[in-house]
Structures are given as structure tokens and as C-alpha cells.
Amino acid sequence: MNYLKLTFDKLEVGEVNDLVAHESCGAISLFVGTTRDNFDGKTVVQLQYEAYEAMALKTMSQICDLMRIKWPDIKHIGIYHRLGTVPVKEASVVIGVSSPHRVSSLEAVHFAIDELKKSVPVWKKEQYVEGCSEWKENKECTWSKSYKNDHVL
């Protein structure tokens, strides 16, 4: 089963862990991406996330399909991404994968976050303590080079 969610609510790691758990699996691997308080010497106070929601969910589903091809023993996958304001130390993304043994789930979680950053239409804006802000594009992103310059909230 795939559990995919975009939400403005605070992400709960335990919720994703519980969703992907299965009695036939001895491994659950989790990735939690959080807002850090700095970037390139600037003090970050929060991130703002926005998404093309229908396309983001479709792309997240495609990532799950690819994961299941590469690691056919995966049981459950959870990918939750936060939208709106995400303060420092809070999770912006949680990915969980269960499998009978650890190798599949560990490799799949690594694959999932890399693919998410490359292909899912989610944008983030860093807000700095100095009062300024800046749209940031993932260096892995393969589809958008101009959104941050053209977009206004």
C-alpha cells in the first residue's frame, strides 16, 4: 500500500511509521527532512512550501511504482510532504518504507528522497531573520528553472 499526503498540518513521524508497519516486515526505514536554521551564512527562521498538488501526488505515486520495481519485496510506502509554513526543526518531509529485511527499505528510502527532490513539483521559500526571503530550487530538480523567479505568493 502507498500512503501519500500533502498537508498544511505538522508532520508526525510516528504516524508514517505506524502506517508502513506490517507483521511480515522486519525493517522500517524512515527519512525525515527538517528545516535547518541556516543557509549560505544566512539565518533561516522558516520555510514556506507550495505545490502543484495534483501533479505532486501523481509524481509521488510514480516514484512508489519505480520503488516497487527496483525493490519488489517492499510492503508499504509512506511519503508525506508539508505545505505552508514549516518552522526551524520541524519536518517538511517524512518517507517511510517497510520490507522484510533492511537493505531494501534503506535503499528505497534513499531513492525516494532523491527522486522526490528531482521530480515532485513542490517549491520552497526561505525566510531569513533579516526580513528578506528567497525562493529556492533543489539542485537535483530536473523540470523547473524559472518558477522561483516568476512566482508570487
Which has more pLDDT, 38 or 147? 38
For residues 129-140, give the mean pLDDT. 80
Phi, psi (deg, nearest 5) at residue 55:
-70, -35
For residue 151, is pLDDT > 90? no
- Residue ranges per structural domain of the chain: 2-132
Task: List the grid coordinates of 6.
Answer: 500533502
pLDDT value at position 64? Answer: 98
- The pLDDT confidence band at residue 131, using thresholds 50, 70 and 90, is confident
Per CATH, domain 2-132 is 3.10.180.10: no
Residue pLDDT, tens place only, 54-103: 999 999 999 999 999 999 999 999 999 999 999 999 999 999 999 999 99
For residue 152, is pLDDT > 50? no
CB 71 within 8 A of CB 104: yes
- The pLDDT confidence band at residue 137, using thresholds 50, 70 and 90, is confident
Distances (CA, A) of 77 to 34, 49, 148: 19, 22, 30
pLDDT value at position 25? Answer: 98
pLDDT value at position 140? Answer: 62
Distance CA 97, CA 76 (A): 6
pLDDT value at position 115? Answer: 98
DSSP secondary structure letters along 28-54: EEEEEEE--SEETTEEEEEEEEEE-HH
